[in-house]
Structure 1
Amino acid sequence: MKRNIVIATVTAAALIGGGTVAAYASADDGDAPTQRQTSVRIADDRNDDADDRNEAADDRDDATDDRNDTADDRNDDATEARGSKITAADAIAAALKNTPGTAVSADRDDDGAGAWDVNVVKGDGTEYSVLVSPDTAKVVGAQRDDDDDNDGREDLAALKGASVDAREAAEAGAAKGTVTDVDLDDDGPAAWSVETTKGEWKVDLKTGKVTQDHDDDTAQDNGQDDRDGDDD
């Protein structure tokens, strides 16, 4: 009788112990995939974070390259402008004398001769590209732009009621450095956009007030502000 009780007790203990082991084994088997999946997710998140950082670094590099390209272009324009005896304002005046109308832009041509290229719009909206010698202010060419894109009419509409023309804008911008480019900026409130050797500037169409173009990183890097009246 006692032997039967002992055997029964041992058997029960074995069953209980086995159940506990089985329970542990079952728990271990269930947790292992979860732990592995968690580890994989953490690794993936880290890789994603690394990829995001790399993309952000690439974006910064691209932005730096763009600024460097802009600075290089500006330096090239500045070198040409400094070597020119004729200012942007002089070139605009000469172009309008040859081809009457409204000047809407002036910059240095990249054909190798470095002539001033002045865009003049007639009253009917037709556009002309007038080339002015950077040394003599003589007109060396004038060609009609046959593109039917209505840009000329849009420029005239933007300048309606303006008190400051392109030549006056060039003269105003010259207080901020040697002028290399004058253009009509009609993105938002219309204004003259004047690029100089020291940055880009906005010239108000009605008052002629010159303010810094805050989208221009180079001007900001140079520490220029609206009070800076020094030339190059």
Structure 2
Amino acid sequence: MKRNIVIATLTAAALATGGTVAAFAAGDDEAAETQRQTHTSAQAAANRDDDSADDRDDDASEDRSALSSGSLSAAEAIAAALKHTPGTALSVDLDDDAATAWEVTVVKADGTEYDVRIAPDSGKVLGAQRDTDDDNDADDRAEPAAVKGAQTDAREAALAAAHKGTVTEVGIDDDHGTVAWTAETMKDGKHSEWNVALDTGKVTQDRDDD
């Protein structure tokens, strides 16, 4: 009888110990799963940051590639576009299509707007297409009015900004309540943004530039 009691006691103790071990094992599994989820989330965030950095690097690489393939500057691209399509230049930038051309926006005396593409290596006009998408857009009408009679035109703004680096884009901006030329430059692989005053041609750092 005593022997049976001892066996029963040992069996109960073994079961209790086994349950405790199982509980600890389950706790370890949950902790491991939490660690895996945390690691996965951190890795996903890091990948997103890497993707954003890669996009910025790709943009800079495209600009460098286009600019290194020829010596045509933004100011020269504007001059070539105006020679082909007389009018007022509103903007110039490296075309988004692999940066294979300068694209100059020109508004003619009759108000029609054209996008003139200029080869960055030779200055040859690759084509001129009328922009009819936003002819009645208020912003499009305001831009020619803003630069009309300005002492500094797009070409002169590009020349002024060139002292800060290689100009990759020039346009009109009124985000801060004051209409001015804006210019993007590249120097030592870094993009910077500048404002160029319409009256004096003075170049200042864009307040939104990081």
TM-score tier, shorter chain, comes to 0.5 to 0.7
Residue-by-residue CA offset, 1:117-136 (whole Å, 9 max, x unaligned): 21124588643112457688
For 1:75, the aligned partner's letter is: R
Cα offsets for 1:158-214 (capped at 9, x unmatched): 67656554233212211112323223456x547544233413322155564331663
Q: Which residue of 2 aligns with 1:182?
A: 170
Alignment length (residue pairs): 197
Q: Percent identity?
A: 40
Matched, 1:127 2:122: no
Matched, 1:210 2:200: no
CA, structure 1 residues 151+93, in 2 after alignment: closer, same or farther (shift >3 Å)? farther
TM-score normalised according to structure 2 size: 0.65
Report whether the alignment pairs 1:91 with 2:77: yes
Within a 5 Å distance, the mapping from 1:34-45 to structure 2 comes to 34-45=23-34
Separation in structure 1 between the aligned mates of residue 62 and residue 49 of structure 2, nearest angstrom: 20
3-state DSSP of counterpart to 1:120? strand
Find the counterpart in structure 2 of residue 194 from structure 1. Answer: 183
Map 1:1-232 onto structure 2 (within 5 A): 24=13, 27-28=16-17, 30-80=19-69, 83-84=71-72, 87-93=73-79, 95-96=81-82, 98-101=85-88, 103-108=89-94, 116-121=102-107, 126-132=112-118, 141-146=127-132, 148-149=133-134, 153-157=138-142, 161=146, 165-184=153-172, 188-189=175-176, 192-198=181-187, 199-205=191-197, 208-211=202-205, 214-215=209-210
RMSD of aligned residue pairs (Cα, Å): 4.2
Tell which deviates more after alignment, 123-132 or 134-143. Answer: 134-143
Give the Cα–Cα distance (whole angstroms) in 2 for the partners of residues 150 and 24 of structure 1. Answer: 88
C-alpha displacement at 1:106, in angstroms? 1.0
Return the TM-score normalized by structure 1: 0.60
- Answer whether contact 2:78 2:104 (CA < 8 A) is retained: yes
Normalized per residue, the structure richer in strand is: 2
Q: Which has the larger radius of gyration?
A: 1
**Whole-Å Cα distance in 2 between the matches of residues 58 and 130 of structure 1?**
39
| Cα distance change on mapping 1:152 and 1:110 into 2, 3 Å | same
SS at match of 1:214: coil
Structure 1 residue runs of 5 or longer lacking an equivalent are 1-9, 216-232
SS in 2 for 1:117: strand
Task: State the alpha-carbon separation in 2 of the partners of residues 179 and 210 from structure 1.
Answer: 14
Change (3 A) 1:74 1:21: same
1:118 aligned partner, one-letter code: V
